[in-house]
Structure 1
Amino acid sequence: MTTIQSRRRLIVILLLCTAAIAALVRHRAAPGSTVHDVSTVMMLLWLPVIGSIIGWGYGKLLRKPPPAPEGFAADQAFQPQALVEFTLRPASIPAEDGPVKAGEHRCVLVVGNQGFQMRWLMPQGETFRRGEKRAAAVEFLAPHKALPLLPPGTPFRMMVGDAFVGDGRVLQPPPGA
């Protein structure tokens, strides 16, 4: 529990205890007396807590789900933007440690604490095994953000899901850079 959460819990407990004590005092006080009136006001201290809970629940119900992350358009042709060399790490499950097949492969290229979505193509008829070095042209989803941070020689890691699947370095900047 964070400090803020523990403070909020303490405040709620104090307000509810104050309201309960005020209810007992009001019950014993003579109607119309100052003590009776003050304890009535003190009993109302729990109302902001209930209002906050209702507001939180209402906000949860109306909150829209986060938008789906951007991705490469299905009909978008592959446009190489940089040349990289990488080595895929061995799979954690031996059954998945087969040759990498031809086709489009997507991952996140991680440099330091920043990640950039990218894709690379394996030409038809070619395969390679994990652990072998491979040079490939890559395309970034946001090249205007990724390319300035990727001069030749920059080391990177490749991530799919929440696992790092490969390591590499940038060989060549995009043409015209």
Structure 2
Amino acid sequence: MTKIQFRRRVIVLILLCVAVGGGVVRHYAAPGTTTRDIATLLMVLWVPIIGNVIGWLIGKLPRRTPKQAPPAGFDALPKFTPHLAVELTFRRPSVPAQDVPLGPGEYRGALVLDTEGFSARWRVPQGTSLARGTPVALDIEFLSPAVAQPKFVQGTAFRVLVDESFVADGQALQLRPAHT
């Protein structure tokens, strides 16, 4: 039990004792006296605590979480459809042992313009690898091409964010027709 939980319990117990004491005094006090009125007031001090206790009990009830469909991602798309031709220069890592070329396969990240990021993926063809520090032309597919394509006019500079790191710098070369 934390300090705050302990203090809350002590406050609840003190107010409960005050309310019970007020009830006892009110029972034995003569009607219409100041003592009976003060005892009634002491009993009323318990009312805010009742709301807190009811709220705590409601919080303990099990709740069903509504089932939500996961957001559609690249896995839901039928095939790779290029939306933008870019020139990417992958940054060299700070650890020399990690300075290896990118092998063939699919890569995902976010293309970042100022404070906006757009989910994207690109592919490195089989039999090739991408050396870091060397500009290379690639096709990019956006998760939401209708939103992203207007931002990437020819010559637009951007950064590529993967996980929590910027891994590449790029420049838009040519827009491809959007296929929805």
The TM-score, its normalising length taken from structure 2, stands at 0.74
**Identity value in percent:** 31
**Alpha-carbon separation, structure 1, partners of 2:57 and 2:112:** 42
Name the structure 2 match of 1:7: none
Choose from 38, 46, 49 the match for 2:49: 46
Name the structure 1 match of 2:33: none
**Alpha-carbon separation, structure 2, partners of 1:125 and 1:118:** 22
**Alpha-carbon separation, structure 1, partners of 2:37 and 2:159:** 72
Equivalent position amino acid for 2:78 in 1 = Q
SS across alignment from 1:76: coil
Shift of 1:27: 6.3
Residues 98 and 147 from structure 1, CA distance in 2 versus in 1: closer, same or farther, beyond 3 angstroms?
same
How does 1:4-153 map onto structure 2 within 5 Å?
Answer: 19=15, 22-23=18-19, 26=22, 29-31=25-27, 33-58=36-61, 61-63=63-65, 68-73=70-75, 76-153=78-155
Contact (CA 8 Å) 1:19, 1:44: kept in 2 or not?
no
Equivalent position amino acid for 2:19 in 1 = A
Shift of 1:94: 3.2
**Alpha-carbon separation, structure 1, partners of 2:94 and 2:64:** 41
Name the structure 1 match of 2:160: 158
Shift of 1:30: 3.6
Name the structure 1 match of 2:171: 169
Greater Rg, structure 1 or structure 2? 2
**Alpha-carbon separation, structure 2, partners of 1:56 and 1:154:** 51
Shift of 1:114: 1.5
Contact (CA 8 Å) 2:85, 2:172: kept in 1 or not?
yes
Shift of 1:36: 2.2
Residues 56 and 24 from structure 1, CA distance in 2 versus in 1: closer, same or farther, beyond 3 angstroms?
closer
Show structure 2 runs of 5+ residues with no match: 1-7, 30-35
Shift of 1:136: 0.5
What CA RMSD, in Å, does the superposition of the two structures yield over aligned residues? 3.0
Equivalent position amino acid for 2:165 in 1 = A
Equivalent position amino acid for 2:45 in 1 = M
Show structure 1 runs of 5+ residues with no match: 1-11
**Alpha-carbon separation, structure 1, partners of 2:67 and 2:59:** 16
Equivalent position amino acid for 2:173 in 1 = L
Shift of 1:147: 0.7
Shift of 1:69: 4.0
Shift of 1:66: 7.1
Equivalent position amino acid for 2:53 in 1 = I
**Alpha-carbon separation, structure 2, partners of 1:50 and 1:86:** 60
Kindly tell me the number of residue pairs found equivalent between the two proteins.
Answer: 163
**Alpha-carbon separation, structure 1, partners of 2:154 and 2:59:** 50
